[in-house]
């Protein structure tokens, strides 16, 4: 088929670098505290948060519609709220890519935290995230954002369009480290 039969038109989008909003996104994914059951060490603290704060916003992903086909790149804004469950810092669920040999670039636009990464064979790495810092997630590394600051952790992400998201394996395995804030000190354990 000649490429002209499925040619996509170029486009541009505006991104508010201060608050992380994409204008306009095509999809807006919202994760609330109740979506995070099973992810935090202190399950009772998560239930208290859900009950006392009416199931608060946890994180959002703003995306554009781009065909999920080889050759394209998917792009999104990931915005993770500040806070703790007990004393464990708010985090995203984390995932491997379904096509696990696909990488991802995160450019941090606001906030502070970590990109926590692990491989299926047990390697673990944590890269600091702060405004202006790029983190490269190589192929085969599961990845999760963790917010250690008092403001939203906002990142711009780009990855191959065929990557897909595999949440099941990491939900079963877990990450080998957790990040806590105790007396305003950030602690990574074990
Ligand atoms: C997609 C990219 C991010 C995350 C987002 C939410 O490959 O890594 O857009 O989807 O940070 O995290 P999670 O783990 O719930 O997808
Ligand atoms: Zn990803």
What's the CATH code, domain 24-189? Answer: 2.60.120.10
Q: What residues are in contact with ligand 1 under a 6 Å CB criterion?
A: 61, 76, 78, 92-95, 104, 143, 145, 157, 159, 165
- Kindly report the protein residue whose alpha carbon is nearest to atom 12 of ligand 1: 92
Question: Closest ligand 1 atom, CA of 97?
Answer: 7
Q: Which residues of 40-61 are buried (b: 16+ CB within 10 A; e: fewer)?
A: beeeeebeebbeeeeeeebbbb
**CA–CA separation, 32 vs 37, rounded Å?**
10
pTM: 0.95
Domain boundaries, the chain: 24-189
> For residue 17, is pLDDT > 90?
no
> For residue 1, is pLDDT > 80?
no
Per-residue pLDDT at 19: 84
- Residues 6 or more apart whose Cβ sits within 8 Å of residue 76: 22, 61, 62, 63, 64, 156, 157
> For residue 22, is pLDDT > 90?
no
Give the residue-averaged pLDDT of 74-82.
97
């Amino acid at each position: 088929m000649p490429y002209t039969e499925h040619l996509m038109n170029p486009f541009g989008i505006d991104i508010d670098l201060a608050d992380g909003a994409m204008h306009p996104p095509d999809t807006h994914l919202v994760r609330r505290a109740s979506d995070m059951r099973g992810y935090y060490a202190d399950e009772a603290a998560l239930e208290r948060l859900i009950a006392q704060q009416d199931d608060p916003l946890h994180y959002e992903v703003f995306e554009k519609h781009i065909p999920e086909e080889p050759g394209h790149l998917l792009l999104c804004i990931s915005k993770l709220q500040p806070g703790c469950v007990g004393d464990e810092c708010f985090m995203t669920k984390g995932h491997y890519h379904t096509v696990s040999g696909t990488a991802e670039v995160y450019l941090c636009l606001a906030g502070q935290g970590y990109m926590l990464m692990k491989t299926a064979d047990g390697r673990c790495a944590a890269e600091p995230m702060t405004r202006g810092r790029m983190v490269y997630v190589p192929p085969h590394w599961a990845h999760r954002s963790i917010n250690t600051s008092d403001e939203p952790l906002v990142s711009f992400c780009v990855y191959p369009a065929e990557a897909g998201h595999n949440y099941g394996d990491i939900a079963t395995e877990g990450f080998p480290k957790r990040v806590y804030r105790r007396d305003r000190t950030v602690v990574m354990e074990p």
